[in-house]
Amino acid sequence: MDEGGEEEQLSFEELGLDPRLIRALAKKKIEKPTLIQQAAIPYILEGKDVVARAHTGSGKTFVYLLPMFHKLFAENGLKKLGPSVFILAPSRELCQQVYSEALSLLEHCRVQLKVMKLTKEMAVSDLTAALASQPEIVVSTPACILSCISSGALKVEAIQESLSMLVLDEADFIFDYQQGNDLQALVPHIPRRCQCLLMSATSSDDIEQWRKLLLHNPVTITLADEHKANDDIIPKTIQQFWISCSAHDKLLHILALLKLDLVQKKVLIFVNSIDMGYKLKLFLEQFGLRSAVLNAELPQNSRLHILEEFNAGIFDYLIATDNSQTKAEEQNMKKDHAQSKKFKKQLKHKADTEFGVVRGIDFKNVYTVINFEMPQSSSGYVHRIGRTGRANCAGSSVSLVSPGESEVFDAVKLMLGLENQESSKSFAPFPFLTKGAVESLRYRAEDVAKGVTKVAIREARAQDLRTEILNSDKLRAHFDSNPRDLDILKHDKVLSKKPPPPHLREVPDYLQDSVAKEASKIIKLSRAAMDVKSSKRRSRSRIRFVKNRDPLKTFSAEGKKLSAGRMKRKGNNREAGSGRRRKRQNRNSERSGM
């Protein structure tokens, strides 16, 4: 069924949810259900299989969490051999997000239910211990559940007896990103009576095939008619722009966008390969634009911390690698460097196949998404753009389109219903960047780009990976005990061997185009009107502290070491205290003598 047009707004009470859940939502300041929630939750409460399709940021996570908890609250106290619910997601980051949201709801409800997050990195003994605690809900990936079954940590008999609900979050990604084989191997273990829910932002032939395989007479719900241009695919709150340029000039154009302040911060930049991410970072930092890199090669602890810092506003620019390209890139590199011993060493730390930055991750307050490289499909475009404009907030996207990407660009226009139009109100050329503004920066950009060589990129990539692995492994226990010390890790650190030239940090007035200058003023005013605070910067004293202190050198068998200043102050305090004691003793002796 399609949910289109204006309907009467229902409340959570009218949806028939447990009062404890309604109170928990009120504590989280969630007052009304979204359209997809009020359309899908009644069917899920009835026990029907549901396919829910809605744009990113529309509240699909609560579509299944709320009725799931409602049912488990009613069953609370029943003894079962295994978990009652599997929530399967395509990436560990999305698993963590769902797990945190579920724990938050339970904490407000104050109900004794166990939620467990399982990952492939966990040892078999840890997986066995986690499942032995009899959690009602397991959040994981298809591959990890299969691993639990094959290792004996999870018994097939327990699944057949206990499992009552299976949720596939971001189902289109589970089917697309080579996790379909894992899911297919898992299907025979799913009991026929199990209620199945599929959540997705886009539709595909794979979803239709899996719907027939997994679901029983499902109810299909979308927010609007699929054939209406843009209404249900991209939220209306997102302004979409594009810039046509050569692949060679993309660095020049993104420099103009960021350096001339023509886009609203925070900015999420997508690239298709890990090397391109480091190339862009090295290029931008020469102009004083600090950014962090997020890709599947980095350790999971580092990735989670990068996301936390970006969401907290510690830095404004995040360069994310769309990992659909990572595997193909690694295969090509293997062929090109088959005989290279150095390369074989680099490959020892493999890219995480369960990482996905476009797979439902809830980035906070991202105002602009830039496609530095276009995705491989129109559905990939939808998921990338969906990182902004979440929960009815305003956002914008800018796509840099080269002639070699015209096929994907045409597919995006076709998806948006613009196949016979050059542009529309929802998808138009970027208006604020003139040719004069771009050309004024060409000499500087091309001069810096020459220095960003393949060797520099390879060295920066290896250096960043070494640093992040060291921080992730060596300091994990320390950071568990001292969470504030995480501030020491600066993910937007400079990777260039030479410091950025001071004269490139600012664009002189004679190089600034009048149209771009006016547009920059408008964006700054709108930023102030929205009360968008600039990135939280560390104070000078904090920066000095970070420079002078190597966190790896703070460990010792004797415990924490005191700095020289603190030891001196402590010694002075002891001397002052002993002096005061001597004076008191003299006064007491004089009184006794009297």
Please check the confidence at residue 479 and state whether its pLDDT lies above 90: no
pLDDT at 159 over 50: yes
- Average the pLDDT over each of 65-79, 319-333, 455-469 and give the range with the smallest value: 319-333
Closest CA to 89 of 332, 345, 359: 359
Looking at the chain, which residues constitute the CATH 3.40.50.300 domain(s)? 19-222, 238-328+345-431+446-541
Planar angle of CA 435, 440, 446, nearest 5 degrees: 105
- Per residue in 94-106, pLDDT (tens digit) is 898 899 999 999 9
Mind listing the pLDDT tens digit for each residue in 509-519?
767 777 777 77
Integer Cα distance of 452 and 310 in angstroms? 25
pLDDT digits (tens, 9 = 90+) for 241-275: 999 999 999 999 999 999 999 999 899 999 999 99
pTM here? Answer: 0.65
The pLDDT of residue 230 = 46
**Rounded mean pLDDT of the chain?**
78
Q: What percent of the chain has pLDDT above 70? A: 71
Per-residue confidence (pLDDT) for residue 273, from 0 to 100 = 92
Neighbours of 104 (CB within 10 A): 14
At 361 the pLDDT is 67
Dihedrals φ, ψ of 442, to 5°? -60, -45
224 vs 470, more confident: 470
Q: Is the pLDDT of residue 382 over 90?
A: no
Q: What is the pLDDT of residue 525?
A: 74
**Cα 581 from chain centre:** 60
**pLDDT attached to residue 495:** 73
Q: Report the pLDDT value the prediction gives residue 578, as an integer from 0 to 100.
A: 57
Cis omega (within 30 of 0) on the bond before 48? no
531: its two tokens: 């009360």
| Band of residue 539 on the pLDDT scale cut at 50, 70, 90 | very low
Q: What is the pLDDT of residue 490?
A: 58
At 104 the pLDDT is 92
Per CATH, the number for 19-222 is 3.40.50.300
What CA–CA distances, in Å, run from 502 to 120, 255, 290, 498, 539? 46, 16, 14, 12, 21
Most confident of 36-50, 164-178, 352-366: 36-50
pLDDT of residue 206: 66
Beta-carbon count within 10 A of 414 CB: 12
Query: Which residue has better confidence, 584 or 464?
Result: 464
Cβ neighbours, 10 Å, residue 31: 9
Q: H-type helices in 81-204, by residue range?
A: 92-109, 124-132, 142-151, 156-162, 171-176, 180-186
At 260 the pLDDT is 92
Q: What is the largest CA-CA distance in the chain?
A: 110
For the chain, the C-alpha Rg in angstroms (whole number) is 28
* Confidence at 194, pLDDT banded by 50, 70, 90: very high
Q: Are 3 and 224 in contact (CB under 8 A)?
A: yes
pLDDT value of residue 326: 46
Q: What is the rounded average pLDDT of the residues 225-231?
A: 42
Least confident of 200-209, 386-395, 577-586: 577-586
CA proximity to 25, closest of 70, 77, 58:
70
The 10 Å CB-count burial string (b at 16+, else e) for 502-525 is eebeebeeebbbeebeebbeebee
Residue 333 has pLDDT above 50, yes or no: no
Please state, in angstroms and rounded to a whole number, the distance separating the CA atoms of residues 262 and 271.
20
b/e map of 446-466 (b: 16 or more CB within 10 Å)? eebbeebeeebbebbbeebbe
Question: What is the spatial distance between Cα 297 and Cα 581, in angstroms, rounded to a whole number?
Answer: 62
Q: What is the pLDDT of residue 480?
A: 61
The predicted model gives 36-48 an average pLDDT of 93
CATH number among 3.40.50.300, 3.90.105.10, 3.40.640.10, 3.40.50.2300, domain 238-328+345-431+446-541: 3.40.50.300
pLDDT given at position 357: 60
